[in-house]
A and B are shown apart, each in its own frame.
Chain A
Amino acid sequence: MFASIVSYGLAVGAVYALIGITYNVMFSASRVFSFTAGMLGMLGGVLGALFINKMGMNAALAFVLVMAAGAVFGVVTEILTVRPVLKSIEQHLYVLSTLAFALMVQQVTAIEWGTEAQPFPVLVPIDPNSALGLIDQKFWLPVLACIVTIVGLELLYRRTLIGRAFLAIAEDSYAARALGLPETRLRLASYAIAGMIGALAGFTGAQMLLAYFGNQAILNFYGFVPVALGGMGSNRGAVIGGLALGLFQQAANFLVGGIFASVAVFAVFIVVLLLRPEGLAGAAAARRV
């Protein structure tokens, strides 16, 4: 039982962490929390199942296409729902515009794909009796995806010029613009990257979570919890928070049942928000009067 709590918990936690990073990447580029993070995760699973199961593509091609689709959805999010409302960011109109877009996509999925959860194919052909097959791939795939994403983002941000430009925008977009950085294009690129990360989360996690339109709401919330706990914009916080959330949820699931698990997560979420609004790892921002 312990083994299954840990393996399942870490795997689900990795998916939450990836969705949390999706939130963060979009937030860093635009100061916008977008409701499309969960949508991207949902699409990763549904599109993957569509390409492989329904259209008969091989896993590698499907993966590339899903990533491309994620990037496209990210770009559309930016153009359609973020850019027009950035000027009035204080009014929080982005909450509504991104939510509206996410709901439209979800509803189209529900109608065209169906409201039943559908199975997701095995991606990597491994002999279950071999050494590699010791742990089911549905558990290690999301964890691997999470590691790759973290390392990739770290390399991008620290080692490349364009990555540093991303950081500059996140730190102070006015100053970055004054330096001549193409803020709009960088923001667009960030949303494309976020789209790919979200889709990756859904694609690698779908053997476990299935290809299901309802994953959108679940991932939206459980992917946001690590961000709220770990501090906005902190990817490290999102990973630690995501993994902890996954483990806690599975432990509670096995030990005391599902109702308690979700109620407990919600209670922890509210209590932490009330006691440490800036997140467990974040620093409080000075208030402007």
Chain B
Amino acid sequence: MTDATAPASTAKAPAGLLGRLEGSWSWIALGLAGLLLPLLDDSYFGVIAQRAYIYWILGAGLNLVVGYAGQIAIGWVAMLTLGAYTTAALAAGRVGGVEWHPYLALIAGGAMGAVFGVIVGLPALRLRTFYFAMTTLGFATIVTQVALAWKDVTGGGVGTPGPVFPWPFEPGWGFYYFCFILAALATWITANIGSSRYGRALVAIRDAEVAAEASGIAKPKLLVLIFLLAGALGGIAGGLFSSLQSYITPDAFTFEMSVLFFIGILIGGRGSILGPALGTIILTVLPEFAAPLVQWSTFLYAALLLVIVLVIPGGIADLLDYKNRRPLEQHREIVPRVELLSRVLDAKGGPSIITLAKIALHFGGVRAIDGLDLEIRSGEVHGLIGPNGSGKTTTLNVISGYYRPNAGQLKLNGVDLPFDRPHARAGYRIARTFQTPRLVGGASVLENVMIGGTIDGSGSFAESMLALPRHRRDEKRLKEAATRSLATVGLESLADVRADRLQHSELRFMEIARALMLRPAFLLLDEPAAGLSAEEIRRLGALIKAISREGTGVLLVEHHADLIFDICDRVTVLNLGKTLAAGTPAEIRSHREVVSAYLGA
């Protein structure tokens, strides 16, 4: 047996500090190398480094799209093309006859990238991944075709000269530092986003979309912001690229570059910033030292991509994740501390009530729910039982907004609750858990729980980008709340462990901790006791009961009759989508039909 988890609170501090130092040491080393490179006074190295910085400015944004949001943007080179031509054409006065100042033209290039980043990203807001991959691919093809054909602006196949930036970033080392500073800025901004509630929300959308929605994360809004940022960074990288190339033709923007950007990120690993940065730098620099291989570089990149996908989908970051290879303690116990609940829930507002009236829902010819009436009140545990297929989970999905019933009403305190917008439920303080735990396996338990509090941040996306005070306050508060929530359900010793290393029963409690982050007025639990031991079920029951006594209304969908009868204030029995019986546990237990049909004599 190891002492990895028991004294975690004492071991955590040095490990965390060391981890942070490790992380920042790599950045400090990279930064110093970049700052001091001009001392070599070798313009050849300078040009290679500038190219690496430019690629990384694009790559940093793309990393949020690919590594965090999990969207397969394979044609992001189009943003580079757009930015390059916008900057070059405006600076050369090819549009409207006025020569723009190069710095203004660069900003316009970034704006262009941002706009088209969102346009190309639109299908990703609703559709499966492949459509988005295809859209970016199609867009990259079309942008090149347009660049070839629109001769007035782009110079067609002949090309157009790139801008020359005046003081202080004039060609040579001045421009070098310009690229360096912008690359550092891009790194800083995307790292801030990555470690903010927005970054966690992105990963949650990627790995556990329904859980993200239940936590109040609106996927379209968040993705639009990310595409905006990634597009802008791509456009700015393009503007710099046109200046570095000094003359651009459509040939300069091959699909190979897109592959390079993409693979740089995948090699580095999803959800990391340092890994993709190193990956991009290595892929940019490598061909310079392997001249005979240049012709084959795309082939090798593609082969590398195949190997990564098939052998190490987690990338380098996963290979280097030693921390999570330490064995966990074998015999762990989950001991909830219900006395903390009053601080976790801080119930305000009076008693409220969710009312379902004559709700009916059918899938094709199957009547999943057939005229159901139900009331869930603050401070009560309402049990929902019934055989498989009787409509329990479907009822829960109607309440949490995933399904729109064909008839009937769903009201909160007499006001209709909207359908088709499950992410809006969090705003009403209605939280839920899932039959199969939905988690972000690669994130720590603490981060998983923090996702539950996403809507409680007050800092905007821009504030998070720049790590302004409100962002830092949000982070601090979310972290404290999540720690408290974990302590309440009895998992605080596992806070820093990757969630996919937890046992099944621990995941169930983790989901409850995540739901508690909403300080829910109503908590919907979908078979929370499934797969738990008898002792764990007993503790779970005590926890649920305590939650309801703090004023939260609990809807408990369960198969364990003992648990239901132990802790429920009211029980509804469903059969074939209809109420078979409703009442107090004592009434249900003696209900003849229920006993014969379901409980058994």
Interface residues of A (CB under 8 A from B): 33, 80-81, 84-85, 88, 91-93, 95-97, 99-101, 103-104, 107-108, 111, 217-218, 220-221, 224-225, 228, 257-259, 262-263, 266, 269-270, 273-274, 277, 286-287, 289
Contacts and interface: CB of A to CB of B under 8 A. Distances in A.
Nearest to A110: B298
Interface size class of chain B, counting residues whose CB lies under 8 Å from the partner chain: 35 or more
A41 B138 CA distance: 17
A95 B295 contact: no
Nearest to B130: A33
B322 interface: no
A289 B432 CA distance: 12
B253 interface: no
Contacts of B402: 287, 289
Given A111-B295, A111-B296, A269 B137 contact: no
B123 interface: yes
The interface residues of chain B, by DSSP majority, are classed as helix
A95 B299 CA distance: 17
B145 A258 contact: yes
Given A33-B130, A97-B306, A274-B126, A107 B299 contact: yes
B139 A266 contact: yes
B122 A96 contact: no
Interface string B293-311: 0011011011101100110
B40 interface: no
Contacts of B259: 103
The interface residues of chain A, by DSSP majority, are classed as helix
Nearest 9 Cβ contacts at the A-B interface? A103-B302, A100-B306, A221-B138, A100-B305, A107-B299, A92-B129, A33-B130, A104-B302, A100-B302
29 contacts: A80-B306, A91-B313, A92-B129, A93-B309, A95-B72, A95-B130, A96-B266, A97-B305, A97-B309, A100-B303, A103-B298, A103-B302, A104-B306, A107-B302, A108-B299, A224-B138, A228-B131, A257-B149, A262-B141, A262-B142, A263-B142, A266-B139, A270-B123, A273-B122, A273-B123, A273-B126, A273-B131, A289-B402, A289-B434
Contact of B146 (A80, A93, A259): A259
Nearest to A88: B313
A248 to B, nearest CB: 15
Contact of B145 (A85, A108, A259): A259
Contacts of B190: none
A218 B70 CA distance: 25
A269 B138 contact: yes
Given A92-B130, A217-B141, A99 B135 contact: no
B222 interface: no
A238 B402 CA distance: 32
B74 interface: yes
Interface in B381-438: 393, 397, 402-403, 434
A91 B270 CA distance: 12
A258 B127 CA distance: 29
Contact of B72 (A85, A88, A92, A107): A92
Contacts of B306: 80-81, 96-97, 100-101, 104
B210 interface: yes
A287 B255 CA distance: 35
Given A95-B133, A259-B145, A289 B397 contact: yes
B44 interface: no
* Residue of B142, B301, B306 with most chain A CB atoms under a 10 A cut-off: B306
A104 B135 contact: no
Interface in B202-250: 210
A270 B135 contact: yes
B142 A266 contact: yes
Nearest to A38: B137
A24 to B, nearest CB: 13
Interface string B133-166: 1110111011001100110000000000000000
